[in-house]
């Protein structure tokens, strides 16, 4: 024990070790403990006590180092005059201007699922490329649900309105070319006859 140290910590979890001992061994263990913390350098022939006490001894050494560190720091602070005296509070000077009204907190931003996002885009532009819409969704997510404008990032408050304004600039899905109309000879002859009749 360090000089002027009159107490030690007895950690509660030591019970797990003591409960496994019979009463006689537990009594010897505590005698061994008390002799150690009183610098009597105890020794024992009981192997169980020697093994069980080793982690307790290491814990006591760690606690002692912490105590010595705090004690040294307290002495150094004492030499500097202890804690600084509390300063007197400044006298109130009164309000220079009227207090501003508290601003309302913005509503919590709603972030849709990818499925909702794509569905709304397709509703606004049926032939929009789903891949392009998906890329736009993850770009907004990566920007902390914000869009980039000339003056920087802006939080998206109404995603449906913002997407409606954005979707017209997104690519359209690939269009299949329309099949050419195949006209049979009979259909062509009938069409030419009708055209000739109508011209007189």
Would you say residue 175 has pLDDT above 50?
yes
Q: What is the pTM of this model?
A: 0.37
**Average pLDDT over every residue of 120-132:** 88
For residue 113, the model assigns a pLDDT of: 92
- Kindly report the average pLDDT of the chain as a whole number: 78
Would you call 167 helix, strand, or coil by DSSP? helix
Interval 87-103: pLDDT, tens = 666 666 655 555 555 44
Hey, what's the torsion of the CAs at 68, 70, 71, 77, to 10 degrees? Answer: 150
The region of weakest confidence among 23-37, 99-113, 166-180 is 99-113
The per-residue pLDDT for range 108-125, each reduced to its tens digit, is 678 899 899 999 988 988
The more confidently predicted of residues 115 and 148 is 115
Instruction: Output the CA angle 54-16-43, nearest 5 degrees.
Output: 30
pLDDT at 37 exceeding the cut of 60? yes
Per-residue pLDDT at 89: 64
- 33-42, 63-72, 98-107, 186-195: which has the minimum mean pLDDT? 98-107
Tokens standing for 195?
């055209």
Taking only the tens place, the pLDDT of each residue in 63-92 is 778 777 777 877 776 777 656 666 666 666
Q: Report the DSSP beta bridge partners of residue 128.
A: 172
pLDDT confidence of residue 148: 83
Contact indicator for 153, 147 with CB cutoff of 8 Å? yes
């Amino acid at each position: 024990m360090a000089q002027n140290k009159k107490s030690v910590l007895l950690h509660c979890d030591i019970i797990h070790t003591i409960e496994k001992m019979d009463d006689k061994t537990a009594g010897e263990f505590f005698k061994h403990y008390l002799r150690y913390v009183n610098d009597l350098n105890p020794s024992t022939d009981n192997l169980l006590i020697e093994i069980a006490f080793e982690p307790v001894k290491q814990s006591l050494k760690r606690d002692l180092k912490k105590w010595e560190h705090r004690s040294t720091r307290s002495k150094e602070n004492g030499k500097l005059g202890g804690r600084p005296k509390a300063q007197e509070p400044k006298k109130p000077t009164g309000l220079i201007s009227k207090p501003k009204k508290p601003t309302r907190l913005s509503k919590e931003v709603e972030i849709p699922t990818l499925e909702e996002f794509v569905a709304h885009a397709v509703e606004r532009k049926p032939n929009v490329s789903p891949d392009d819409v998906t890329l736009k969704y993850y770009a907004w997510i990566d920007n902390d649900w914000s869009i980039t404008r000339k003056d920087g990032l802006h939080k998206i408050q109404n995603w449906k309105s913002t997407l409606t304004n954005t979707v017209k600039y997104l690519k359209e899905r690939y269009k299949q070319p329309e099949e050419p109309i195949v006209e049979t000879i009979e259909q062509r002859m009938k069409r030419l006859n009708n055209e000739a009749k109508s011209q007189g």
